Amino acid sequence: MRALVTKDVFTMSRIITKMNVKDELRQIATRDEKATTLDMGIEMVLTVMSKVSDKSVEREIYVFVADVMGRTPEEIENGDPLEIIDSITKDNGVQQWKDFFSKVSKLIFGR
């Protein structure tokens, strides 16, 4: 897996915008000051996952993940989801993705 780069922030921002979840994610991020980061993260992931099934963004997600992983979109589309998640979370990948989504959320929500 290659390191995430600046263009990835904009690619993911466009995908999130196209998924039309900005308002839902903003509500989650600002709703409850007592909610833990984990609780908010889980709720955000579930919200995004409910929109990922929308065919209008499915291909873009395959292309994005394939680019980051050095694979083809078809390999991602037809690949084992557990193996793909495992690949993303290896070798400091989790921290890099957390940092990445933190930056995307700042770009989108301004906080």
Total domains in the fold of the chain: 1
Q: Judge whether 76 lies within some domain.
A: yes
Q: Judge whether 1 lies within some domain.
A: no
- Report the C-alpha gap between 9 and 6 in whole angstroms: 6
Q: How confident is the model at residue 23 (pLDDT cuts 50, 70, 90)?
A: confident
Task: Using CB atoms within 10 Å of the CB of residue 93, give its burial: 0 to 12 exposed, 13 to 18 middle, 19+ buried.
Answer: middle
pLDDT tens profile 81-91: 999 888 877 76
Owning domain of residue 86? 6-109
Q: Judge whether 20 lies within some domain.
A: yes
Q: Is the pLDDT of residue 105 over 70?
A: no
Note the pLDDT of residue 28: 76
- Report the C-alpha gap between 51 and 45 in whole angstroms: 10
Q: Is the pLDDT of residue 99 over 90?
A: no
Note the pLDDT of residue 77: 93
Q: Judge whether 79 lies within some domain.
A: yes
Whole-model pTM: value is: 0.67
Q: Judge whether 95 lies within some domain.
A: yes
